[in-house]
């Protein structure tokens, strides 16, 4: 029982972490709170669905296509839409406020387009909804893949950011966008790249989640909400934090579901969120900033 719940929890948490990685990147480094994050995921999910249903293309193949598109589109959005905001923002706070408003608008544009193109119906398909036996616990293969991928992507990017020169520039921009240019870092370029990588992560998350979650054109906000909590909880801009926070939420939700009451699973998420905010307002892995 304990083992099965732990595994169920980790697998669910893997999905959560996957949902949050992209937003963590965009908010943490580019300082853009992308409220249209969920819509990006939904768009990628539809992409996977269409390719699977009409071209018989495995979502695992789409997993390599969608992030490229996500990267490109996010790059474009940053250049066209976010860049003017970044340029005119007097302070970090103002950029955050402006980007929230701008991406809030983007959310409705994307949702509207998807509603027109795909309709409002629930969409779902089954891929790799096959049982896998791990330590005697039966789990859907698609969910295991999601866990593995979130660990790989989250861990891999975390390593790159903490151990490479490129990562150091990212951290510099995240930590002090005002001083980064002093050491020759093009803040705007780095922020744009980070935003685009975030878009690619969101796309890969969308493709994976589409294999086992029912989605609809209007359902992006669910992902955004979850991602927001995880990003804030893990520490803004810290991918390892997002990964750990996501996994923790998954395990706690599953334990509460099984041992306490499923009705309290969501409440436990928010309770944990409040506790973390009170105890470490900068998030589990965040560094204290003024």
Partner 1 sequence: MLKFTRRHMLTGLLAATTAFGFAAVPGFADDRNSVKIGYAVSKSGANATGAGITTIPNYKLWIKGVNASGGLELPDGTRLLIEVVEYDDRSQTEEVVRAIQRLATKDKVDLILPPWGTGFNLAIAPLMDKFDYPHLAVTAVTDKAPEFAKRWDKSFWFLGGGSDYAEALADVLGASRDAGKINNKVAMISVADGFGIDLVNAARPALEEKGFELAYDVSYPLGTSDFAAIVNDAQSSGADSFVAFSYPPGTFGVTKQAQVAGYNPKVFYTGVGGAFPVFKKISGGQQEGVMGIGGVQSGSEAIQEYFANHTDVIGNPPDSWASAVTYTSLQILQEAIRRVGLDREAIAEEIASGEFETIMGKVSLENNQLRSLWWAGQWQGATFAAIAPADSNGAVAPVIPKPAWR
Residues that bind partner 1 (CB under 8 A): 4-5, 8, 11-12, 15, 108, 111-112, 115, 119-126, 129-131, 138-140, 212-214, 216-219, 222, 250, 253-254, 257-258, 261-263, 265-267
How far apart are CB 95 and partner 1 at their closest, in Å? 28
Q: Which residues contact 7 (CB under 8 A, 6 or more apart)?
A: 134, 135, 137, 139
Residues 6+ apart with CB under 8 A from 177: 31, 92, 187, 191
For the record, the structure tokens of 47 come out as 């992409």
Nearer to partner 1, 34 or 111 (CB): 111
How many contiguous H segments (helices) and E segments (strands) does the chain have? 11, 2
Burial 62-99 (b: 16+ CB within 10 A, else e): bbebbbebbbebbbebbeeebeebbeebeeeeebbebb
- Residue 38 CB, shortest distance to partner 1, in Å, is 12
Q: Which is nearer to partner 1, 223 or 285 (CB)?
A: 223
In the bound state with partner 1, the residue whose beta carbon lies nearer, of 175 and 255, is 255
Residues 6+ apart with CB under 8 A from 149: 14, 18, 63, 204, 208
Minimum Å distance from CB 219 to partner 1?
A: 8
Comparison of 1 and 183: residue with beta carbon closer to partner 1: 1
In whole angstroms, the minimum distance from the beta carbon of 198 to partner 1 comes to 22
To partner 1, the closest distance from the beta carbon of 236 in angstroms equals 24
Q: Which is nearer to partner 1, 93 or 112 (CB)?
A: 112
Residue that is written with structure tokens 């790799």 in the block? 128
DSSP secondary structure letters along 58-104: -HHHHHHHHHHHHHHHHHHHIIIIIHHHHHH-SSHHHHHHHHHHHHH
Give the contacts of 137 (CB within 8 A, at least 6 positions apart).
3, 4, 7, 8
Nearer Cβ to partner 1, position 132 or 185? 132
To 5 degrees, how large is the angle CA 26–CA 28–CA 33?
55
Which is nearer to partner 1, 11 or 196 (by Cβ)? 11
Smallest gap, in angstroms, from Cβ of residue 148 to partner 1? 17
Instruction: Please count the other Cβ atoms lying within 10 Å of the Cβ belonging to residue 132.
Output: 14
Beta carbon of residue 285, minimum distance to partner 1 (angstroms, whole number): 24
């Amino acid at each position: 029982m304990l083992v099965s719940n732990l595994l169920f929890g980790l697998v669910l948490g893997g999905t959560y972490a996957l949902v949050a990685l992209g937003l963590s990147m965009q908010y943490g480094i580019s300082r853009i709170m992308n409220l249209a994050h969920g819509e990006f995921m939904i768009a990628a999910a539809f992409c996977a669905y269409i390719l699977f249903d009409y071209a018989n293309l495995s979502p695992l193949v789409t997993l390599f296509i969608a992030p490229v598109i996500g990267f490109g589109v996010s790059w474009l959005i940053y250049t066209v839409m976010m860049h003017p905001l970044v340029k005119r923002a007097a302070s970090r706070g103002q950029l955050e406020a402006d980007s929230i408003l701008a991406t809030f608008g983007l959310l409705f544009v994307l949702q509207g387009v998807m509603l027109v193109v795909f309709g409002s119906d629930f969409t779902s398909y089954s891929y790799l909804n096959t049982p896998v036996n791990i330590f005697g616990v039966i789990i859907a293969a698609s969910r295991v893949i999601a866990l593995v991928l979130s660990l790989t992507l989250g861990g891999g990017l975390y390593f790159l950011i903490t151990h490479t020169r490129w990562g150091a520039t990212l951290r510099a921009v995240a930590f002090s966008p005002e001083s980064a240019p002093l050491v020759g870092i093009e803040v705007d370029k780095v922020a744009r790249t980070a935003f685009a990588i975030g878009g690619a992560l969101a796309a890969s998350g969308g493709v994976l989640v589409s294999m086992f979650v029912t989605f609809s054109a209007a359902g992006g906000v669910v992902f955004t909400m979850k991602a927001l909590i995880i990003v804030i909880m893990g520490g803004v801009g810290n991918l390892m934090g997002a990964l750990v926070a996501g996994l923790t939420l998954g395990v706690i939700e599953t334990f509460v579901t099984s041992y306490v009451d499923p009705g309290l699973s969501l409440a436990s998420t928010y309770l944990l969120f409040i506790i973390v905010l009170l105890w470490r307002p900068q998030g589990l892995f965040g560094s204290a900033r003024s």
